Amino acid sequence: MSVVVRRGELTDKAWARIEPLLPAMDGRGRPWRDHRQVIDGILWRLRTGAPWRDIPERYGPWQTCYERFKRWEQDGTWARLLEE
């Protein structure tokens, strides 16, 4: 079954390529929101240039997208993804 992907969101093929490069979802504390959903939110924000607070709800809370973006910038995750 094929899933419809909105313009600018990760395709299944792109997701399969980057998923192994992402940090494991930590089992401690509150469960993490799905990486793919958050990445789509981050990509939406980068593509539109809109403020973080304007990220559509379908991507989860804007704070989650912002915090994950910052965390991955600091720990080198984005650099690993861009090298791939």
The domain spans of the chain are: 12-16+34-83
Rg of the chain (C-alpha set)? 13
Per-residue model confidence as pLDDT tens digits over 21-75 = 998 876 677 777 889 999 999 999 999 999 999 999 999 999 999 999 999 999 9
pLDDT tens per residue across span 3-23: 555 777 899 999 999 999 998
- pLDDT tens for 57-69 read 999 999 999 999 9
What is the band of 78 on the pLDDT scale with cuts at 50, 70, 90?
very high
Q: What pTM did the predictor assign?
A: 0.84
Helix and strand numbers, DSSP H then E, in the chain: 4, 0
